Structure 1
Amino acid sequence: MIVHTLRFAFKDGATEEEKEHVLAVMRRTAAVDSVVFSSVGQNLDPSDGFTHAYCVGIEDMAALRRYMHDPVHLAGDPQIIPHLARLAIGPDMSDDPAPDLAARIGALHEEKVAMYPQWAAELTPLLTGV
């Protein structure tokens, strides 16, 4: 199982309606077939400035590939990204003991970056190394 998390904060001035829309889009993404379990909502430790969090459980690498390229996921990101001020990917975790798992996941991410450069250009400025 691969557990993928995001922590994020909305832009100043984001309305409650915009925030609810973003969370609804995230919940729709978290409900695609390749996801085993999910949670989307408030970050319970906002001391790092991230007010909300997203977590999905994905069975294996094949499911992760399907999740990353799912049409619902691809359609959701353009509705989410414009409303975020900051985003932290992870910490992620897995019960798979393969020593190269993180590298294989990273390679999938780089593959997606190469396939969707506009997505990467919009996402990169939000990323933070917390």
Structure 2
Amino acid sequence: MIYHCNRLTLRPEASPEQIEEALESLRNQGRVIPSVKSFVVGRDFGGEYEWGAVFALEDLDGYWEYLIHPAHRNTDRVGLPLVDKFASYDVTDDPDPEMAAKIAALHQRRYDNDPELTKLVSDLGEYSGSAAPGKHGS
């Protein structure tokens, strides 16, 4: 199992309506993407981020399905412009020593095939972790 985790802080100018639209889009990802086995979206406590989301995915094929699903793309479109600081990371019980590189390669393939997404990500104030462009296993 792979737990894909996102932590984010929104820009101060984000309206309550925009924030709710983005959070609902994250929740919708969990409901409609077939490879998501369970999920949680809500407040992030114990750190420097405001919001968090965790999506449980069975394997790398499911991870790819999650990444390219239209529901995920919608969250990118409505949510990323609101984000100031973003971090992603993955937790897995898979013993494959190459798992970090394989996950990073999925994200890189997605960026390579989606210039609009790459532009949205480049406009973030801060972006780190497994999903950050050019990062491999950080």
TM-score scaled by length of structure 1: 0.90
Q: Does 2:35 correspond to 1:34?
A: yes
Partner of 1:4: 4
Partner of 1:45: 46
Q: Which protein has the bigger helix share? A: 1
Q: Does 2:15 correspond to 1:15?
A: yes
Matches of residues 58-97 of structure 1 in structure 2 within 5 Å?
58-90=57-89, 92-97=90-95
C-alpha RMSD of the superposition: 1.4
Aligned residues: 127
Partner of 1:99: 97
Cα distance in 1 between the residues matched to 2:41 and 2:122: 22
Relative contact order (alpha carbons < 8 A, sep ≥ 6): 1 or 2 greater?
1
Q: What CA deviation, in whole Å up to 9, does each residue of 1:74-116 have, x standing for no partner?
A: 22210111111111112x1101000011111111111001000
TM-score scaled by length of structure 2: 0.86
Cα distance in 1 between the residues matched to 2:128 and 2:86: 9
Cα distance in 2 between the residues matched to 1:19 and 1:79: 9
Identity percentage of aligned residues:
27
Cα distance in 2 between the residues matched to 1:73 and 1:129: 19
Secondary structure of 2:127's counterpart equals coil
Secondary structure of 2:12's counterpart equals coil
Structure 1 stretches lacking a partner, 5+ long? none
Secondary structure of 1:3's counterpart equals strand
Cα distance in 2 between the residues matched to 1:56 and 1:33: 12
Secondary structure of 1:128's counterpart equals strand
Cα distance in 2 between the residues matched to 1:52 and 1:33: 23
Structure 2 stretches lacking a partner, 5+ long? 130-138
